Structures are given as C-alpha cells and as structure tokens.
Structure 1
C-alpha cells in the first residue's frame, strides 16, 4: 500500500498561466507514455517545440526533472534547449551540476545489477550515476529484487534505493527531485513565480509536495494515491493542458 495520502481527486488543475507560473515537468509517464522498455518510448514529434514555446512564454521558468540520465533525456528532447535535470537531480543542464561525480563504487554497483538482471531475465537500465532493475514483465519478482538491492547497498555506502513503477533504482544518497527544485528555484527566472509540478510516480511525490509548500500546486498524472490536489489522466491529458495554456 502507498505511504502517500490520497489528497487528489479528479479535479482538473487550473490553466497554466505563463505570466505567473514556473513549470516543472517529469518525463516518463508525464510527458510521454511509459513503454515496456525505457528505450522504446514514443516522443511526439512536436513535443520539443511545444516545450520551447512554453519556456519562452514563461520567461525561461520551465524545467524537465527526470530520473533518466541527462544525455538520454537530451537526446529524446532534441530541439528543446531549456533546463534539464537528470538522474533524480544528480546532473543538470542550464545550471551548476548538483553532483559533480558519483560516489565510489559506481562501476561495481552497475556491474552487480547488470549481472543480476541477466541471470533473472530482468531489464537492466544503465544510468550516469546509478542503475535500475525493471521487473514489469515479472511482477512476482518485486520482493526478491528489492532484497537484492538492499544487499548491494549494505556494501556500497553513498548510494540509496529509489522505488519506482515496477522498478528499483540505486542512486547517489542525498539526491532527490525536491532537492533539485530547491536548486532550480534559486535561478533568477523563477523569482516571484508560483511553482507547478507535474509527475506520475512515487519519485515525484516529494516534488509535488514541495510545489504546494512553496505556494504553488502539484498535478498527479494517472492513478494512485498522491499528495497533489489536482490530477490529469495521462500524458495525452498533460499535453492538452499544456496546449491550452499556450492559447491563453
């Protein structure tokens, strides 16, 4: 059972106001549909241009905040030159990188997870500062995957476990999306604005809560309990909401 209270109902969020809002967007499950494999997502051809237009309308106060590695995120959003935060806040484009280098033992961690995935028929995802094990095709493996990840962490200080949708990720300790938002919030283009965060996963809950505490609001995408007060049904609904904000 989720540890997050279900504060959000089916209430649609207010329209995006580019003159007042600062916009923070998760990627997978928020802007694009989740795919069976991380490399199999389909990015709408007009998405980078849409994000660029909204960023310009917001005076640059727009950032993509994702668990994906920064190079991968930049490749998927080629044509969008705005702020990008990858690896849950461990790396960034457009501001000083929150983490200059990964903790010791990164190579060993990645090798251990890759070997485990190969031996169990799971999907291994390589990340710049960590790695993830996906068990979408074997949901019964959730407990054993988590137990394995905890065992790895016992021998590698400096890393932490990040549960996600049908996946377990090991990332540098002290890294999170809400902490990334704290860093972004210090940039001059965000001054005087109200933060709006959109996300779909457990990894987004601290950021959704952060937006509300800072006087703005969070928007939960899809099903599941959440701290957010507003909800959109899926990435298509998010893109429609973004488009409506451009028309205002």
Structure 2
C-alpha cells in the first residue's frame, strides 16, 4: 500500500490480497501481515487474504492467540484528548483499536506541538508509550511492538526452521527490520531514509513485484 495523504485514503491494488494468499499457500502459511493499523482495517484492505495478520503494533492478531487480553485502561480518555488536540490544531486524528495517532503531514510546522502534547499524555496516563511515525505521532500500549510481533510469530509451528524476512517503509518498522537481521534473516527498507535493513526497494510497487516473482518461482 502506498503512502496516502490521509489514513482513510489508502487504495489497495486489486490483486494484492490474492497475491498474498498465493504466497502464503506456497510457504505453508509462513507469511504474516504486520502493521500499526487496526486489525479490522487490515481485514478490510486485504479482503481475500485469509492468512495471519498482526495489527496495532502487535497488540491484536488474527490466526493466532490475541496478544492483548484486555482493552487498555484509560484508552477512551487518551483518544478523546488526542482527538480534541487534533481538532483544535487542524490536524488529522486517526482512531485505532488500542491507541490513536495525530498526523501533521498537512502542517509539518506543528510537529513540535504534537510531540510535546503526546509526551504530556503518556506522562498523565499509565500503560501507554509514544510511537513516532512518518509525519505522525502515535500513542500505543506499552509492551507491544512490531519486533515483538515477529518474536511471537517465530514460535508458531509454520515458521519453525525458517529465516525471518521483513519489509517495511516506516520508522515504526525499524525495530522489526533489526529483529529480522539479528535472527538469521534480513530486512528490506522500502523508500527513502536510513535503515538497519540490509536491502532496499524504492517503492511499494517494487515490493509487490518482488512478491509476484516469488510466487511465479
């Protein structure tokens, strides 16, 4: 999925769910979509792909035991405060299952104010942490991350004896890219910016071409 100007403006290529389904079948189920997006959004975006999904930075999942047993305390208050701040400063608020984010792509000059406000919120409400992202700042539950999701996935039987491969384009993906590199596999950085990943692809379309080539083989 390419970066869109708004979280709700993402357009998924029509053939992507089927491509992922074919690759999952070829790998005997050893394929997972790991994202900061909410699980219900992933299921909507990738309707037709029935494989493993991990959403909300590892705090919810499909096809495996849910990592988070209960909704975080104070979640409603955190969302309400973030939504109010976004409205007051003409920024984009993104609601998520176990957290929320403020996007400042439309007004980069507000980055400092967003960062200061989210730091204030995480100091006020226990159990949450700040997750920097591309032109956004997210508040998510403590103890969950994309690299943590990879660690959980690696214990599933279908991933046994395999080397981890992870592709991502955001700052939130760097810990997972590092995890793959440190556990006998490799990471693939998509797009511009420095990364711990060993390999690099220029655009999301290059990732889709790489996956299609893997299916063809």
Equivalent of 1:51 in 20, 26, 29: 20
| Ranges in structure 2 where 5+ consecutive residues have no aligned partner | none
- How far apart, in 1, do the equivalents of 2:212 and 2:48 lie? 18
In the superposition, the TM-score normalised over structure 1's length comes to 0.87
Partner of 2:209: 240
The Cα RMSD (Å) is 0.6
- How far apart, in 2, do the equivalents of 1:46 and 1:84 lie? 18
Equivalent of 1:64 in 18, 33, 36: 33
Name the structure with the higher helix share: 2
Q: 1:19-168 residue pairs with structure 2 within 5 A?
A: 32-168=1-137
In the superposition, the TM-score normalised over structure 2's length comes to 0.99
- How far apart, in 1, do the equivalents of 2:185 and 2:153 lie? 15
Determine if the alignment matches structure 1 residue 220 to structure 2 residue 189: yes
Partner of 1:210: 179
- How far apart, in 1, do the equivalents of 2:167 and 2:161 lie? 20
Check whether the contact 1:69–1:128 (CA below 8 A) recurs between aligned residues.
yes
- How far apart, in 2, do the equivalents of 1:222 and 1:102 lie? 34
- How far apart, in 2, do the equivalents of 1:247 and 1:48 lie? 16
- How far apart, in 2, do the equivalents of 1:233 and 1:170 lie? 28
Stretches of 4+ moved more than 3 A in 1? none
Which one has more relative contact order, counting CA pairs under 8 Å at least 6 apart? 1
1:205-237 Cα shifts (integer Å, max 9, x gaps): 110011111101000000101000100001000
Shift of 1:244: 1.1
